Every structure is written in C-alpha cells, then in structure tokens.
Amino acid sequence: MVWGRLWGRRGPAVVTGAVLGVLALGGCGESEPAAEAAPAEEARTVEHAMGETEVTGVPERVVVLDTGELDATLALGVTPVGAVRTDVSDELPGFVSAAGVDPADIGDAGTIAEPDLEAIAALEPDLILSNSVRHADVYEQLTQIAPTVFAESIGESWQENLLLAGEALGREDEAQRLLDDYTARAEEVGDLYGDPAQTEVSVARFLDGSVLRLYGEGSFIGSVLADVGFARPEVQRTQETFVEISPEEVPRADGDLLFFGAYGADGTTAAEQVTAGPLWQSIPAVAEGRAVAVDDDRWFLGLGPLGAGLVLDDLEELAGQLAG
C-alpha cells in the first residue's frame, strides 16, 4: 500500500502585489505654481453576501476569519495581520508556511467557531474577510470594527470567493490571473493520468471514532478533482459537501484511487484504528496499493488557490510514482 503523506516538489507561486501609496506635495512659495493636492484614495463599493461594503484604497491590515479567506489573501500577496485558528490546533495550517510566510507574523484572532472580537479590534484592521456560513451572527459587530466583506458559501465556491477577496483587496486582476494559471495546470495534471475521466477518485476524511466523511462533488476537493477531470464513485456523486458513514461502512470508500486524511488528534487516532482493521484492509484500493494518506491541511483546509495548488502537486507526484 502507498502509505504516508505526499508532499509536492513545487508549491504554487505566491505573487507579491504592490501596495499603492499617496504622495502629498506641499507648496513651494509664491513664485512657483501651487502643487496640486494628492487625490483622496478611491472608495469602491463591494457587493457581497451580507449587502454592500465601502472599501477605501488598498487595505494593508487585513484580518481573516476562515481558512479559505486566509488562503486567498496569502495567494494574492497579502499577509494578514490576524487570522483565526482551527478548533483542533493553535497552529495555523501548513499552507501558510508553504506560501513562504512565517505564521508568527499573523496575529491570533480566536478560533473559527469563536472569533475573538476584542483581539480583532486590537489588531486595528482596515478590512475583515470571512463568510456567512461561519460568521453571519457576528457580522454586525465586525462592521463596527472595520469594513467587512463576506462570501456567501465555502468549499466548492472557492474560485468565486477568491474573486471577491481580490475585489475587496483591490487585486481583481491578480485574482483572475491566479485562476487562469490554476485552470491551465489542472488540465496539465489531468493529462498525466491519460484519460482521467476513466479513473474514479474517492476522498475520505477521519474526524473521530464514529465519523468518516466521504467528500462529494460539492466540496472544495471535489471541485479540484473535477477540474483535473477525474470521475467519482457513485456515493460521492453528490452536490453535498460530504456524506457521513460509520466505521462499519468503510468499504463504501473504495475507488480506483482512494485518498484519505485525518482532522486533528481525534481524527488521527480514528484513522490509525480503522485503517489497521479488517474492514479497511478488505477495500480493493487498499489491498491493491491504490490508497494514499494525504496531509489534511493541504486537501481539506486550504479552500483556495494555495490549497488547490498543493493538491495538484500531490496528484502530479503520484502520477510520476504510478508511471514508474
């Protein structure tokens, strides 16, 4: 069995955008014409899930409240001054370091489940990014701190969310370029598998001892696999983000290729227990060496162009192993 975490040989490029400044010119005396005053920074209205928000200039102190927004912001060349942590770790996801950013440079804004409003205010943000799925209940409080822009959904909508973040950050062209580059690379990775539509790819994730999730087409990872061109097992041909099955149903996780991850310590413990058991070993993909353990941060937490690029790295590496 192919066991262990795949690490891509090359990560997606992180493009550093220029931060626009304003130069104010002072008067030089009566004998010279008066210098024109510097124009005020342009304000633009961003339409989003919660209504409309006016954003002025190019935000420099951004706080993000979910991993998708963290991914998108970093990919657009902006290091947030603050970000929430997941509910199972005090550390930021691994894709932050993979993007060449020191996690210590990003302040703590609480957790995804419970953003710390006082900590967020103390960071003095000029923009807050999140989504209505996670934080609709604190939107009004957030708007009292800084202009706030919310995506409507998460996961499968990551490309639309990236464009929204690009608009809010004043980097729309860069967001579109990232998507164009991603689309081209997804097609290139698909070509490495010959006709990827003939390969059914199964994706499973362990959360704790009683829950195993099979990820559907309506998820972030489902959208990346679709862009590469893979087919999905019947149980995962759903627009739902995932289907939950019990440990006794693990044979339903089978596919031509099976990728599986584990969320947090409880998920890791569950994965160790289940994958050592007879039901898991009876899955044809496992018995025939077509099951691959993947890094959970890369496959399930990125929810943006960085995460998508890391998944493509893993798929490219696996294609080379299979060809060898």
Do 237 and 201 form a contact (C-beta atoms < 8 A)? no
Q: Which secondary-structure segment (H or E) carries 207?
A: strand 201-208
Kindly tell me if the per-residue pLDDT of 247 is higher than 70. Answer: yes
What is the mean pLDDT of the segment spanning 12-28? 31
Compute the half-sphere exposure of residue 278: CA atoms within 13 Å on the CB side of its CA: 0
Residues 63 and 144 in one domain: yes
Residues 148 and 198 in one domain: no
Euclidean distance between CA atoms 87 and 74, whole angstroms: 21
Euclidean distance between CA atoms 241 and 205, whole angstroms: 12
**DSSP code of 113?**
S
Query: What residues make up the domain containing 293?
Result: 193-323
Euclidean distance between CA atoms 161 and 156, whole angstroms: 10
Residues 50 and 164 in one domain: yes
Residues 219 and 154 in one domain: no
Q: Is residue 159 part of a domain?
A: yes
Residues 209 and 123 in one domain: no
Q: Is residue 51 part of a domain?
A: yes
Strands 107-111 and 291-293 come out as unpaired
Domain boundary among 170, 204, 234: 170
Residues 101 and 151 in one domain: yes
Q: How many domains does the chain have?
A: 2
pLDDT tens, residue by residue, 121-156: 999 999 999 999 999 999 999 999 999 999 999 999
Residue 21's contacts (CB-CB under 8 Å, 6 or more residues apart) are: none
The number of angstroms, rounded, from the C-alpha of 153 to the middle of its chain's C-alpha atoms is 13
**Least confident window among 13-22, 135-144, 183-192, 291-300:** 13-22
Q: Which secondary-structure segment (H or E) carries 62?
A: strand 62-64
Domain boundary among 118, 137, 170: 170
Residues 247 and 146 in one domain: no
Angle at which helices 172-191 and 158-169 cross, to 10°: 150
Kindly tell me if the per-residue pLDDT of 22 is higher than 80. Answer: no
Which residues is 257 bridged to in the sheet? Answer: 201
Q: Is residue 53 part of a domain?
A: yes
Kindly tell me if the per-residue pLDDT of 41 is higher than 50. Answer: yes
Instruction: Say what the pLDDT of residue 93 is.
Output: 93
Residues 66 and 148 in one domain: yes
Do 238 and 245 form a contact (C-beta atoms < 8 A)? no
Q: Is residue 39 part of a domain?
A: no
Residues 55 and 132 in one domain: yes
What is the mean pLDDT of the segment spanning 18-29? 30
What is the mean pLDDT of the segment spanning 185-194? 97
**Among 155, 268, 134, residue whose Cα is nearest residue 221:** 155
Q: Is residue 69 part of a domain?
A: yes
Kindly tell me if the per-residue pLDDT of 174 is higher than 90. Answer: yes
Question: Would you place residue 14 in the very low, low, confident or very high pLDDT band (cuts 50, 70, 90)?
Answer: very low
Please report, for the chain, how many H helices and E strands are present, in that order.
Answer: 13, 12
**Among 69, 16, 5, 4, residue whose Cα is nearest residue 302:** 69
Residues 139 and 63 in one domain: yes
Q: Is residue 176 part of a domain?
A: no
Q: Is residue 27 part of a domain?
A: no
Q: Is residue 11 part of a domain?
A: no
Which residues is 214 bridged to in the sheet? Answer: 204, 243
Q: Residue 28 class from Cβ within 10 Å (0-12 exposed, 13-18 middle, 19+ buried)?
A: exposed
222: domain CATH number? Answer: 3.40.50.1980
Residues 66 and 107 in one domain: yes
Domain boundary among 102, 136, 170: 170
The Cβ of residue 127 has, within 10 Å, a number of other Cβ atoms equal to: 27
Residues 319 and 254 in one domain: yes
